[in-house]
Amino acid sequence: MMAPASLRTTARADWSFWLGFAIVVGLLIAAPVVLPPFWRRFVTEILIWGLLAMSSDILIGYTGLVSFGHSAFFGLGMYGAAAALLTVNPPSLWLALLYGLVGAGLVAVFVAYFATRLREIYFGITTLVFSQIFYVVIFTWTDVTGGENGLNFRQPGLGLPGLGEAAFTPTLLHWFVLAVVTLSYLLLRRITRSPFGMVLQSIRENEPRTRAIGYAVERYKIVAVMLSGLFAGLAGVLYAIQNKFAAPDFVFFLISGEVVIFNVMGGVGTLVGPIAGAAFFLLLREGLSRYFEYYLIPVGIIFTLMVIFLPQGFLGFLRRRLNQ
Amino acid sequence: MAIPIEQILIQTVNGLVNGMILALVASGLTLIFGIMDVVNFAHGDLVMLGGFVGATTMATTGNFWIALLAASLTVAVVGAALQVTTLRPLLGRDPLTTILATFGISLVLQKYALWQWGPSARHLQEPITGRFDLFYLQYPWYRVATALFAGAIIGALWLFLQRGTYGIWIRATTQDRIMAAAMGIPVPWVHTAVFAIGAAMAAASGVLFGPLGGVTQTMGADFTLRAFIVVVVGGMGNLGGSILASIFISLLEAYASLFVSPAQAVIVSFVALILTLLFRPTGLFVPTPR
Amino acid sequence: MLSLTDVHTYYGKSHILHGVSLDVGAGEVVGLLGRNGVGKSTTLKSVMGLARPAGGRVTLDGRDITGLAPHHLARVGIAWVPEDRRIFRLLSVLENLRTGLDRAGMDDTRREALLNKVYGAFPVLRERRHQAGGTLSGGEQQMLAIARAMMLEPRIILLDEPTEGLMPRMVSQIRDIIGLLNREGVAILLVEQNVPLTLTVSSRVYIMEKGVVRHQAPAAALRADPAVIHQYLGV
């Protein structure tokens, strides 16, 4: 079994990767300073959705499990953060993170249980159903979750215990999100390149063989789902903090669908691809929606065509071209 | 607090009616899955499309039955076109790709419907007016007629499959598409035909449902989800199973509505799905595999 | 009539056929022998459009049919009887036959005649005609698989290990069927592990090894000199 191109790292590929990485991060650091307010916010949002897409890639691209349930993780992260910010005074950023991750984590445990028992389609359908269960519960449990209207809360400040607190300006918030997303990316990159990551890919390519070799496939799947769920929940927390509200719309399974679109368009199994896919999709939406209200029609067509002709996504396509 | 028996019986009737409409949708879905391993994410949107085409036809002709026919034929053609262009190239690939492709189609269909018909709901006029006394309710005849009609369509489908050359072709292709091809059966076209039939049945459901719940752009997601649940609970590819499961799930939801709001009653079907997957993953109404 | 020229076939990344060439003349019974895994079944599948040749050609009466879809090949007169029979288990015996019988150009008279002819050759199938295919015994399923192929009124039948797992009595029945088909002018490309049977019914035999044809000879020659068989097959 050949390792995918991304893993055949030569010294030169490594060097050029880090250079590219530094450039991109540098640009993103500079972004809020140079961009007008709308685009500043926009870039921050791209990062958050990118993180969500990346978390989904762990399952789709690396383990071969299609999940339509990422909206559940995302939503629970969001509502978890909301819970922390509404119930504990003064609102604490770190507590929001904690509650959000715990919330997402609990859902992940649930989903992980099913991941080990169900094959592809059934797993996908079950995750979809899960999102919907949460959607219905959140939508109807108006007392606790605010129902249709969601929850509004104050934005916490960025503070470290003992060092004081600074309120989030859009720029500061952007840098915070950038830091979190960058760290997440580096961490996930490390994990996917580790022996653990290799086993995940082996599961994706040929599960029975991986099992036959002796790997406890179930355990790997559980960890993959937990990882994926936690990072998705993290994205949810960030979104809650940025926007100061939580709404059931984000738990609806169509959000999961959009995430899958980011993954496919950007390129599954690349981590970076999904972020690019998210950026591409959101930019497309921004651009097209000014001219044509029903921009999703051409986007949907492009997406479907890509699934058929460019299943590796843009990044995969580029990578193959560059390799030739 | 005891629930009066009349209410239970009324909910039983409601459950059966909804169950038959759902069965019409689910049969198409399970037929499609059984023969070409495609999980048609867009199936509910075909229901929606049928409903809208039906609504428009009815607005021009004023005749419900013509609308039903027109919608079924139109969506059958649309379905066939979709299958030939997007699903045929994917035959034999990773099932993930077909899920994604049909998801893309679903998105396009939904937004197209929004574009052409706008966001507000369309209501279709009942072709059969008049009510009868069902306990303390004035129960519409149309609801009963719908259930019977849906049943008739499903019955016709069953007959078609059991008799005749094309029925044999479809059943053979479902069981072993390679051997069917080796026997001269034009498998790619059988696939297209089955997809078209499934689409037509979905469209018919949409039109039949029109007078009951209206046609909206978002109804697709609801039907798709329900149909998926039913197909899994009934056993994927199992026609009889999906019909039984449709009735079973709809009855469960109807009874649940006695206690909670309809929006929450759907949780019952979710739970049924999860329990099925945990304990009898091949389907509740399928004999235990040997 | 049927010609394979330098056919290369892969399963995924495995290179199974490394340039197979063989011919079957009209009405001939040709045997294809070889150890397990040398690519005999794959050769048949490559003809039938079930395994796409990556190189080489397959022709029928000079016409290139390489990689054509199976349903087209069935219609130009090539029938396939696979190794595992692949009966449509949930269809009745008659319905199984009808998958081949219900063709364009067959009116009721012709259909009835063909059906009766096949029932004549396989009386047990007439008895069980409304029974589900999956309820038949192994031998009966093999009969059905061959009968089904005959429904296509083929010019050549690709027979893959018809006697595998059958009792000796059924093996001689298979031998008789092959004789019957031969007398009717149907060509047969017979893949088999049963060497004596193959040498009895075939006029010529090919022997394969590791994805290529290594030896070709008239059956009579091989009957006379068993050393060759022994060399390639170790029997």
The residues spanned by each domain of chain B are 5-279
Domain definitions of chain C by residue range: 2-89+141-233
* Own/partner pairs, B275-280, CB within 8 angstroms, 24+ separation: B276/B232, B276/B233, B277/A114, B277/A117, B277/A118, B277/A122, B277/A126, B277/B232, B278/A117
Q: What mean pLDDT comes out for the span A134-148?
A: 79
Tell whether C130 is within 8 A of chain B (Cβ). Answer: no
In this complex, do A300 and B100 lie within 8 Å of one another by their Cβ atoms? Answer: no
Q: Note the maximum CA span of chain A.
A: 59
- B242, two tokens: 């999906």
Residue A111 carries which side chain, given as an amino acid letter?
A: V
Buried b / exposed e across A183-202, counting CB within 10 Å, b at 16+? Answer: ebbeebbebbeeeebebbbb
Model confidence, pTM: 0.87
- Measured CA to CA, the distance from residue A97 to residue C126 in angstroms comes to 74
Q: Give the model's pLDDT for residue A134.
A: 82
What ipTM, to 2 d.p.?
0.91
Bigger pLDDT: B35 or A85?
A: B35
pLDDT of the residue at C94: 94
A288 touching B (Cβ < 8 Å): no
Shortest Cα–Cα distance, B34 to chain C (Å): 14
Cβ-based neighbours of A21, under 8 Å, separated by 6 or more: none
Would you give the DSSP letter of residue A157? B
At B286, is the pLDDT very low, low, confident or very high (cuts 50, 70, 90)? low
CA distance B175 to chain C (A): 7
Q: What is the pLDDT of residues A104-126, one digit of tens each?
A: 888 888 888 877 777 777 777 77
CATH entry 2.40.160 includes domain B5-279: no
Task: Quote the pLDDT of residue B138.
Answer: 80
The residue written with tokens 């209200």 in the block is A293
From chain C, pick out residues whose CB is under 8 angstroms from the CB of B171: 88, 90-91, 95
Q: Are A313 and A267 in contact (CB under 8 A)?
A: yes
Question: Is the Cβ of C75 closer than 8 Å to some Cβ of chain B?
Answer: yes
SS3 C214: strand
Query: B226: distance to nearest CA of chain A, Å?
Result: 10
Alpha-carbon gap: A195 to the closest alpha carbon of chain B (Å): 25
Confidence of residue A275 (pLDDT cuts 50, 70, 90): confident
Residue A146 has pLDDT above 80, yes or no: no
Measured between beta carbons, the chain B residues lying within 8 angstroms of C148 are 183
Q: Which residue of B has its CA nearest to C157?
A: B182
Q: What percent of chain B has pLDDT over 70?
A: 97
Contact C70 B181 (CB under 8 A): yes
Which residue from B minimizes the CA distance to A141?
A: B264
Q: Which superfamily is assigned to C2-89+141-233 in CATH? A: P-loop containing nucleotide triphosphate hydrolases (3.40.50.300)
- What lies within 8 Å, CB to CB, of C71 at 6+ separation is B181, B182, B183, B184, B185, B186, B187
A180: phi > 0 → left, psi -120 to 50 → alpha, else beta; which? Answer: alpha
Chain A positions touching B100 (Cβ under 8 A) are 66, 260, 264, 303, 307
Interchain proximity C80–B187, CB inside 8 Å: no
Task: List, for residues B105-164, the tens digit of each pLDDT value.
Answer: 998 998 899 888 888 888 888 887 778 877 777 888 888 889 999 999 999 999 999 988
Lowest-confidence segment of A6-20, A162-176, B87-101 by average pLDDT:
A6-20
pLDDT tens for A31-89 read 877 888 888 888 888 889 999 999 988 888 788 777 888 888 898 888 888 888 888 77
Cα separation, B280 vs B274, in Å, equals 10
Contact residues on chain C for B184, CB-CB shorter than 8 A: 71, 74-75, 99-100, 103, 152
> Is A311 in CB contact (< 8 Å) with chain B?
yes
Subunits that touch chain C (at least 3 Cβ pairs < 8 angstroms)? Answer: B
Which chains lie within 8 Å of chain A at 3 or more CB pairs, if any?
A: B
Tell which residue, C46, C65, C38, C5, has the closest CA to residue C158: C46
What is the residue-averaged pLDDT of chain B?
A: 88
Hey, CA dihedral for B5, B10, B16, B22, is it positive or negative?
negative
